[in-house]
Structure 1
Amino acid sequence: MPHIHISSPIHPAVVEAARARAEVSLAYGPGAVPLDAVAGRVDAVLLRSGAFTDEMMAGCPRLRIIARHGVGTDTVDSPAAARRGIWVTNTPGGNSRAVAEHVFALTLALGRRLTIASDETRRGRWAEDRAALNGIELEGRTLGLLGMGNIGAIVADIGRALGMTVIVADPALDQALPHVVPLDELLARADVLSLHVPLLPATHHIIDAAALVRMKPGAILINTGRGGLVDETALAAALRAGHLGGAGLDVLEAEIADMVAPMPHNRLPIAELPNLIVTPHVAGQTDEALMKVGMTALAEIAAVLAGGRPTHPVNAPATPFQP
């Protein structure tokens, strides 16, 4: 019977489905089993978080597939896996709806000043200054999308349903389309700017101090993509100065292997910024999304262990491992 190692907590139903077809070890919970304890007999790894290096692969002589529970594979040495005949896969689109809805959870919370209102009410000051809690309506506002992949397309649909005008900056799209605009125009026109591009050298700090200055006064910035897209020091300054209406971040630059590291207060003084909402990279974490993503990753494992090809490969092993 093949052996599947699961790195981090996933939907319990996916674990049970895996146990129906393979021996399963969990690197979490009671009786957690670290990878090195089973490395000699692991055929597949279902990787939700953490890195997977060439050295780790070398210690797993039977390994045939590393199936990412999610889209990003930057923590996996995919070229090394290809050289070793190991497939690396991901699960595109599995949590797109969840992330898109989180974009609007953050947007609405900021636009209606919900966290401030809640804090004031909890302190017993709910009737003292209602005017300070005046919010905005999204109908008639402009939604700007930096990038238009699976998630961005759903965000656009939701925005239009709310009566928003949608504009997009994305070099991969036909620049002649009426809703596609240059980045400078996107920054200047968007009442809500949502980021949906991968983190690459070209996109690192794409929203920097200069970009923030070009943004429309009072605009809301939402980042559910990657933390490195935003210069957080510059963002904190723009929020303190009142240039932006607010910012919602589900990702931070200090994240390491999908876990949020302690944030030095001089980099992003969260406690001092009432117009900032930060969530711990949970935009894609709904019951429905966890089930969908987990089952997709498990299907990739099943295909490879049966001698077939995965549906969503990230690399291309020249000679896939044969047991």
Structure 2
Amino acid sequence: MTDTETLSPPTAATRPRLTLKLCEPRGFCAGVDRAIQIVVLALKKYGAPVYVRHEIVHNRYVVDGLRDMGAVFVKDLDEVPDDGQPVVFSAHGVPKSVPARAEARDMFYLDATCPLVSKVHKQGLRHVKLGRHVLLIGHAGHPEVVGTLGQLPPGTVTLIETEEDVAAFEPADPSALGFITQTTLSVDDTAGVVTALARKFPELHAPASESICYATTNRQDAVKAASEKTDLFIVVGAPNSSNSRRLVEVAKRFGAKDAILVESEHDIPWETVTDGATIALSAGASAPDILVDGIIARARADYEVSLEIVQTAEENELFPVMRAIRDVPLTPADMAFVNGAA
């Protein structure tokens, strides 16, 4: 090569080929959209700071974006000064003790708990009201589980994680049991535990309505449909996102040769994606679409991409925010952020 020669960018003829299967639905669900919107609207109406107890949703991009707007994330209400500014509770829900403490300090708070999580809380309370001991199927330590356990009176609920927990559980009255489920687990995730419970306790009462979040089911169904004959399945989501981790597990179980959880295109081992490979792409319910767009853009820059849409459902759910902030106008830029597009 002479000093004046330069390397030409790859052309369609020289770039490796890549089939990219894009899952729909993916990304933000209505509960996440509502929670983010509540923080943005509160900042617009009341100004910064707006305090947020724990991560509003499990995604670093979203949390960092809200922090840049003036949100202050705290682990506990003790970190919030008595300055009259609003406090937002995360989409995962909180124990009853949290709003009680806020009210005791005369705090102004906005509860961004997902309505589907609130429905599970009501189902648990209904079991208790009917004299049943509640069995909560979920993962210990998850914020939603912590919040749900804290909604029910002490001694009225037991966490069940595995079929082994079912075998070890001996209730005072086997005829007075009811179960509820962490929303971010799918029907497949809970099937074994529910079957074991029903077999051991024939009089077990199911929830009055389905506990599983529609978004969890829809995203897992799309991943199932896209997994077969896929070399690498990429799920965009945070490491602490339960529903995102489940998507990785589903992809492996339904035929993907490999599946990984990434936070952005920078986490993808592109050097392993060879000519003619097939990758699939989805995102957890708290991951914004701008991160998915970044992965698609990177793929198109380096590969000759054949894009396939794998759609298994349409989502049109909308959860309105509370009246106190419903009248606040949002700019197009605000809406783009709320919808995960910026």
For normalisation by structure 2, the TM-score amounts to: 0.29
Larger relative contact order (Cα-Cα within 8 Å, sequence gap ≥ 6): 2
